């Protein structure tokens, strides 16, 4: 693994609009998917000979299916409001990472083939033929968008730029130019059941080890059940929660919450993954196929409730799309939210007084909270507007004495992406990931300097991995990122039965 | 891409992981480590051997927590933590150590 050769951006004294550096992030893009990965997802194994016609036909197909896409492509007036809102633009200074410019890579081709002015007078309206260079630019720059939709918050027309990136990636997949990171992972979900490739036996071994750890720490038998038919709750969580640090402490936190609330629950070896990378590649069919596993597990295990663990885009898929993808969930208990977020679940228990939390156990930590983009801008929770912002913060405040928010233009609906979302959390994009983390790192620095913050909590597996990897580039420690449910888990007072 | 080790040509993918897990040799581990400017010590081998044994049984690399616990049991509590493992494998025990051990790269949000 060759060491990436780049400079970590310096903190800016004032976060002003960066001076652009043309083509600085031009390149071949991330590794291409291997033929077998493409095949597993139903895409051509490599770039097809008639890629041009196939790409235009697919664009036409998407325009027909999604009226929204045509509106987004038609309605941009080049006002410039989005230009400096993208973390990748801020971190890399490449003008094609201005959201408008990145969208224009697709929009210009759309104009040429699907609008009369573009067909008749292409030069007058900036319409562009689809050439191999343009296709390569799509591949490169649509893998420099994490589909976080921060720019969309500032767009006066409400253009959903993530939808445009997703459409571009789907076209690329259909012509045989898929991305290795995403497609390898989706193929693993089909073959093994999760992104990690964690087989049933290893899953059971891992959770048994965690049960021992909790017993050693607390003296209490807290279970992490797998495939228990008839449990009340099916918990679907990202497989990173079984594998990575700090994620695994969040999983322990969920288990302690279930234990103290006395609610029976189970994990599923069939749906051992909450993540759904089908969304990142814009593929409805793959998103549906991944979601079906969750629905099947809920049916087979005869549970009453469906709860999702800490995973940003999983929650967007669950909250916004699950019912239309694989519903109806009429077989679940209709008195509870379907699906429910683990933060909602825990918050509800705290409101009822069902959890005993000793905040002082977290007194060695001073917290801030990183809103994950797909939760912040793609969903809600708790049945109240803004619940996705208040509920995780209430959980932190219920388990810690010291909480400080980062600057207001970097949190809630204006949150910055961690820099690794949207299918970009791969080693071959390390330069992009480090540079894209700049605005979040600056915001963290301000609360570290002003309030002595020691840890940043998050509710997304991608954010946690990304931060533990990039924080050292900015002078922080890798373990300053933490799961919200680790804080709950550490504060919870368990008593031996 | 390929590496030369123990008189054999061993194929690797573009990220430097072996394409055929059965082609691994101790020499291959040394060559892969040298690419990252690491000289393998007994401490590295403890981890590499544990990873290979675990993989043989479970068809996946162990969770970082499982690895730290096992190393802690074997080499003493002060070494059973991620910090120690990161000292040995600066790019991360999960990915870098797997690469040297000839295991596939852990994928997903890790």
Q: Which residues in chain B have their CB less than 8 angstroms from residue A458's CB?
A: none
Residue A449, C-beta contacts closer than 8 angstroms, at least 6 positions apart: none
Q: Which residues in chain A have their CB less than 8 angstroms from residue B59's CB?
A: 199, 201-202
Hey, what CATH topology would domain A35-178 get?
A: Fumarate Reductase Iron-sulfur Protein; Chain B, domain 2 (1.10.1060)
Q: Which residues in chain A have their CB less than 8 angstroms from residue B110's CB?
A: 196, 240, 243-244, 461, 465
Distance, CA of A204 to CA of A294 (rounded, Å): 18
**pLDDT-based confidence at A341, cuts 50/70/90?**
very high
Contact assessment for residue A315 and residue A379, using Cβ atoms and an 8 Å cutoff:
yes
Is the pLDDT at A298 greater than 60? The verdict is yes
Asked, for residue B28, whether it belongs to a domain, the answer is yes
Q: State which H helix or E strand residue A320 sits in.
A: none
Q: Write down the pLDDT at residue A17.
A: 84
Give the structural domain span for B41.
Answer: 2-100
Name the domain count of chain B: 1
CATH number at residue B18: 1.10.10.370
Asked, for residue B49, whether it belongs to a domain, the answer is yes
Asked, for residue B42, whether it belongs to a domain, the answer is yes
Asked, for residue B107, whether it belongs to a domain, the answer is no
Asked, for residue B31, whether it belongs to a domain, the answer is yes
Rg (CA), chain B: 13
**pLDDT-based confidence at A217, cuts 50/70/90?**
very high
Residue A461 contacts B, CB cutoff 8 Å: yes
Length of chain B: 110
Is the pLDDT at A3 greater than 80? The verdict is no
Token output for B7: 């008189």
Q: How does pLDDT run across A65-93, given as a tens digit for each residue?
A: 999 999 999 999 999 999 999 999 999 99
Domain ranges of chain A: 35-178, 187-491
Q: Do B109 and A275 lie within an 8 Å CB cutoff?
A: yes
Distance from CA of A31 to the nearest CA of B (A): 8
**pLDDT-based confidence at A2, cuts 50/70/90?**
very low
Among partner residues B57, B69, B109, which is closest to A209 by beta-carbon distance?
B69
Q: Write down the pLDDT at residue A300.
A: 98
Annotated catalytic sites of B, by residue?
A: 109
pLDDT over 70, % of chain B: 100
Q: Write down the pLDDT at residue B51.
A: 96
Read off the pTM: 0.97
Q: Do B107 and A209 lie within an 8 Å CB cutoff?
A: no
Q: How far is CA A353 from CA A261, A307, A350, A356, A357, in A?
A: 10, 20, 5, 7, 10
Q: How does pLDDT run across A165-182, given as a tens digit for each residue?
A: 999 999 999 999 999 999
**pLDDT-based confidence at A4, cuts 50/70/90?**
low
Q: How does pLDDT run across A250-267, given as a tens digit for each residue?
A: 999 999 999 999 999 999
ipTM surpasses cut 0.85: yes
A413 or B93: whose pLDDT is higher? A413
CB-CB neighbours of B37 under 10 Å: 8
Residue A219 contacts B, CB cutoff 8 Å: no
Asked, for residue B110, whether it belongs to a domain, the answer is no
Which of A403-407, A464-468, B48-52, B92-96 is least confident?
B92-96
Q: Which residues of B touch A (CB under 8 A)?
A: 14-16, 35-36, 57-60, 62-66, 69, 82, 86, 91-92, 94-96, 99, 104, 106-110
Nearest CA in chain A to B109: A462
Among partner residues A185, A205, A239, which is closest to B58 by beta-carbon distance?
A205
**pLDDT-based confidence at A1, cuts 50/70/90?**
very low
Among partner residues B14, B96, B107, which is closest to A188 by beta-carbon distance?
B107
* Among A33, A191, A241, A244, the residue to mutate for chain B (most B Cβ within 10 A): A244
Asked, for residue B23, whether it belongs to a domain, the answer is yes
Is the pLDDT at A337 greater than 90? The verdict is yes
Q: What is the mean pLDDT of chain A?
A: 97
Q: Which of A454, A438, A444 is nearest to A487 (CA)?
A: A454
Asked, for residue B91, whether it belongs to a domain, the answer is yes
Distance from CA of B54 to the nearest CA of A (A): 9
Distance from CA of B42 to the nearest CA of A (A): 22
Q: Write down the pLDDT at residue B75.
A: 87
Q: What are the mean pLDDT values of chain B's consecutive 10-residue runs (110 residues total)?
A: 92 95 96 96 96 96 93 89 92 92 94
Long-range contact set of residues A344-353: C-beta below 8 Å, sequence gap at least 24? A344/A381, A344/A382, A344/A387, A344/A391, A345/A233, A345/A257, A345/A307, A346/A257, A346/A395, A346/A485, A346/A488, A347/A382, A347/A391, A347/A394, A347/A395, A349/A257, A349/A261, A350/A394, A350/A395, A350/A398
Is the pLDDT at A363 greater than 90? The verdict is yes
Among partner residues A1, A243, A311, which is closest to B110 by beta-carbon distance?
A243
């Amino acid at each position: 693994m060759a060491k990436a050769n780049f400079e970590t951006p310096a903190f800016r004294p004032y976060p002003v609009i960066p001076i652009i550096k043309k083509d600085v992030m031009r390149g071949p893009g991330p590794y291409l998917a291997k033929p077998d990965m493409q095949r597993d997802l139903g895409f051509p194994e490599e770039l097809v000979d008639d890629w041009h016609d196939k790409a235009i036909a697919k664009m036409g197909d998407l325009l027909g299916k999604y009226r929204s896409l045509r509106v987004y492509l038609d309605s941009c007036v080049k006002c410039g409001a989005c230009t400096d809102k993208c973390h990748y633009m801020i971190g890399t200074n490449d003008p094609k990472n201005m959201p408008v410019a990145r969208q224009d890579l697709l929009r210009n081709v759309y104009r040429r083939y699907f609008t009369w002015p573009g067909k008749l007078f292409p030069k007058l309206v900036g319409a562009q033929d689809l050439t191999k260079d343009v296709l390569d630019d799509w591949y490169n720059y649509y893998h420099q968008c994490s589909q976080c939709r921060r720019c969309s918050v500032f767009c006066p027309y409400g253009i959903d730029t993530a939808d445009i990136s997703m459409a571009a990636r789907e076209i690329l997949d259909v012509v045989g130019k898929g991305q290795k990171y995403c497609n390898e992972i989706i193929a693993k979900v089909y073959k093994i059941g999760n992104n990690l490739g964690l087989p049933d036996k290893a899953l059971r071994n891992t959770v048994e080890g965690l049960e021992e750890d909790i017993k050693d720490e607390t003296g209490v038998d807290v279970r992490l059940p797998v495939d228990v038919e008839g449990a009340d709750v099916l918990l679907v969580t990202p497989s990173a929660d079984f594998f990575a640090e700090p994620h695994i402490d969040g999983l322990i936190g969920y288990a302690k919450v279930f234990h103290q609330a006395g609610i029976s629950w189970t994990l599923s070896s069939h749906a051992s993954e909450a993540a759904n990378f089908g969304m990142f590649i814009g593929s409805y069919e793959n998103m549906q196929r991944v979601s079906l596993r969750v629905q099947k597990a809920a049916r087979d295990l005869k549970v009453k409730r469906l709860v999702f663990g800490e995973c940003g885009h999983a929650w967007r898929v669950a909250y916004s799309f699950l019912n239309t993808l694989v519903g109806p969930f009429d077989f679940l208990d209709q008195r509870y939210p379907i699906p429910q977020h683990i933060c909602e679940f825990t918050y509800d228990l705290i409101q009822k007084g069902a959890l005993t939390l000793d905040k002082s156990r977290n007194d060695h930590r001073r917290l801030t909270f990183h809103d994950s983009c797909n939760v912040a801008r793609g969903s809600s929770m708790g049945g109240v507007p803004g619940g996705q912002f208040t509920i995780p913060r209430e959980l932190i405040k219920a388990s810690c004495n010291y909480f400080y928010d980062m600057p207001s233009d970097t949190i809630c609906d204006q949150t910055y992406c961690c820099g690794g979302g949207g299918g970009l959390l791969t080693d071959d994009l390390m330069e992009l990931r480090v540079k894209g983390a700049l605005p979040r790192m600056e915001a963290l620095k301000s609360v570290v300097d002003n309030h002595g913050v020691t840890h940043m909590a998050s509710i997304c597996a991608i954010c946690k991995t990304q931060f533990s990897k990039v924080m050292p580039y900015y002078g922080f420690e890798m373990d300053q990122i933490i799961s919200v449910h680790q804080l709950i888990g550490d504060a919870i007072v368990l008593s031996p039965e | 891409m390929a590496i030369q080790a123990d008189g054999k040509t061993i194929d690797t993918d573009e990220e430097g992981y072996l394409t055929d897990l059965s082609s691994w040799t101790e020499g291959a581990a040394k060559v892969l480590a040298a690419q990252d400017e690491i000289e393998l010590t007994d401490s590295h081998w403890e981890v590499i051997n544990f990873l290979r044994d675990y993989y043989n049984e479970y068809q996946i690399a162990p969770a970082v927590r499982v690895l730290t616990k096992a190393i802690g049991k074997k080499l003493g509590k002060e070494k059973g933590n991620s910090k120690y493992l990161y000292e040995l494998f600066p790019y991360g025990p999960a990915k870098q150590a797997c690469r040297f051990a000839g295991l596939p790269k852990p994928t997903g949000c890790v």
